[in-house]
Amino acid sequence: MLPPERTRASPVPQKRTQKKSAPARGGSAEAPQHTAGEPQRIAKLLARAGVASRREIERMIADGRIALNGEKLTTPATILTDLAGVTVDGKPVRPPAAARLWRFYKPAGCLTAANDPKGRPTIYDRLPAGLPRVMPVGRLDFMTEGLLLLTNDGELKRQLELPKTGVVRRYRARAFGDITQEQLEELAEGVEIEGVRYGSIDANLERRTGRNTWIELALTEGKNREVRRVLAYLGLQVSRLIRTSYGPLGADELEPGQVAEVQREDLFRFRQTLK
């Protein structure tokens, strides 16, 4: 039985097509391969190059920050075969690098965001120097700690976040209040809270000390504040929440603020399991 102070996880529109074809760049054994010169939406190409997520790129295009051969683009539906001539904020976009993935132990008390208007610390304030530009896979709440995956590849980020891929996220929650295993088992059928439907959750009592209970949970959707909202619905007040694993990847030996890169072979095997 793990003590509460330490956490470990089981191993576990406008169209412009470039005339010049170029071989796919930045591919790797881990990344899906595309035919050389295959036309694709610019949002997908830029996400693959690690510029931002597709949704963020759409906002950047709307803000006039992305151009092709000096002409500002007006739609993310622009079709290209490569990123030659594409600039972001006036700077050329580098070809996509091989997809990489890191495990990061997010400390409590920081945002999963690039910046915060209120001046609160973010994960980028806690990341060690020397990392390339990385994006978080999903989010953890401000006070939630534990495993957060980071990647340089927007397509890998999207693939890992989609609920249909069925990636299991595991958590440990310390909560105050009375609860039975039978009540937790009812979460396997899903629950609707204030009009939001939450899918099946596998929840089990781990240990109880007075009215404080440690609960282990496994889910695949990962909706905003899902664990906290579901446990609050059961009358519990969460005082600590830790994500212990994401798919087969665990927090393992990581201390808060530490990062470890996932080995290429492990990343390849992980991607092979995705739906």
Active site includes 141? yes
Distance of CA 42 to the CA centre of its chain: 21
Among residues 32, 33, 30, 52, the alpha carbon closest in space to that of 42 is found at 52
Two tokens, residue 57: 């790129």
Query: How far apart (Å, rounded) are the C-alpha atoms in residues 69 and 84?
Result: 8
In the 3-class helix/strand/coil scheme, how is the chain assigned residue by residue?
Answer: CCCCCCCCCCCCCCCCCCCCCCCCCCCCCCCCCCCCCCCEEHHHHHHHCCCCCHHHHHHHHHCCCEEECCEECCCCCCEECCCCCEEECCEECCCCCCCCEEEEEECCCCECCCCCCCCCCEHHHHCCCCCCCCEECCCCCCCCEEEEEEECCHHHHHHHHCHHHCCCEEEEEEEECCCCHHHHHHHHHCEEECCEEECCCEEEEEEEECCEEEEEEEECCCCCCHHHHHHHHCCCEEEEEEEEEECCEECCCCCCCCEEECCHHHHHHHHHHCC
**Which residue among the candidates 63, 89, 125, 141 is catalytic per the annotation?**
141
* Catalytic residue ranges: 141
